Amino acid sequence: MKKIMWFISFISLLGTAAVMGFLPDSVPMHYDFSGNIDRWGSKYEEFLFPAVIILMSLFWTVFIRHFEKKAEKATEEKESKEARNNARVLSIVGICMNAMFTVEHGIILYRAYNEAAAGADMHSWDIGRITTVLAGLLLIVLGNITTKTRKNRIVGVRLAWSMYNDNTWRKTNRFGAIVLMLVGVISVLTGLLLETPAVSVLILLGALLLGTVIIVIYAHKVYVEEIDLEKHETM
């Protein structure tokens, strides 16, 4: 799966290189809150986004390799299986994030070409709306795969309470997955339905913050219940 992640990471770079001959020397690079173009820059600045995607792939590869090595060195089948599973989950996360940013950059390139060719003063497509929808879809996917993680310090809901034992990890991350998916659905709906994309972004950030607080509270609740259960079992 790492190969798929790296393949996707280079699509944006190769695509940007392919369209350089069609882009004018100067393209829109920044917009104010109202969508007015407030900075034009060199078309070669478009290579910054692909560079970020490749750096992200490198970041994920380091952690994926960490779990792969852990699986190779494991002396117990359970430990080896858990490490391999976490490596697979991280690969899926890397693939999804690369795909999201690759699609977004493709839209940015298309928009830059149209706006430059038309000598536009405002954006033709609001990237905030697109980002909100894509981020929502990503959260839905991440929520679906969070339940497949095993206790570790890199991916998942990593709190002292959730990492107390396998049971607290499983319950907390299952609940956290549901919260993530709900936030994702809210993000997609607000991105598609609201007239002001900036409001959609604020709702997304607010929902993420609220969701995080709820997950932390739930993790503590599960931890307390587990401690109480252990006390009763030892009595």
pLDDT tens string 27-67: 988 888 777 888 888 999 999 999 999 999 999 999 999 98
Q: Which CA distances in Å does 104 have to 12, 126, 190?
A: 10, 11, 18
The pTM of this model reads 0.81
Q: Residue 190: pLDDT band by 50, 70, 90 thresholds? A: very high
For the chain, report the end-to-end CA distance as a whole number of angstroms.
Answer: 48
Q: Residue 5: pLDDT band by 50, 70, 90 thresholds? A: very high
Q: Mean pLDDT, the chain, as a whole number?
A: 89
Q: Residue 7: pLDDT band by 50, 70, 90 thresholds? A: very high
Query: 27 — phi, psi (to 5°)?
Result: -135, 160
Decide: helix, strand or coil at residue 32.
coil
**Domain map of the chain by residue range?**
1-123, 126-235
Strand positions, DSSP E, the chain: 26-31, 37-42
pLDDT tens-place string over residues 192-205? 988 777 888 899 99
Q: How many CB atoms lie within 10 A of CB 145?
A: 18
Q: Is the pLDDT of residue 235 over 70?
A: no
Q: Residue 229: pLDDT band by 50, 70, 90 thresholds? A: confident
pLDDT tens-place string over residues 102-153? 999 999 999 888 888 888 787 767 778 888 999 999 999 888 888 888 887 7
Q: Which of 154, 170, 140, 160 is nearest to 62 (CA)?
A: 154
The mean per-residue pLDDT over the stretch 79-106 comes to 90
Q: Which of 85, 228, 212 is nearest to 167 (CA)?
A: 228
Supply the pLDDT for residue 169: 92
Supply the pLDDT for residue 126: 75
Q: Is the pLDDT of residue 154 over 80?
A: no
Q: Is the pLDDT of residue 155 over 70?
A: yes
Helix axes 127-146, 197-234, angle to 10 degrees: 20
The mean per-residue pLDDT over the stretch 149-158 comes to 81
Q: Which of 158, 128, 155, 129 is nearest to 142 (CA)?
A: 155
Supply the pLDDT for residue 206: 95
The mean per-residue pLDDT over the stretch 210-232 comes to 92
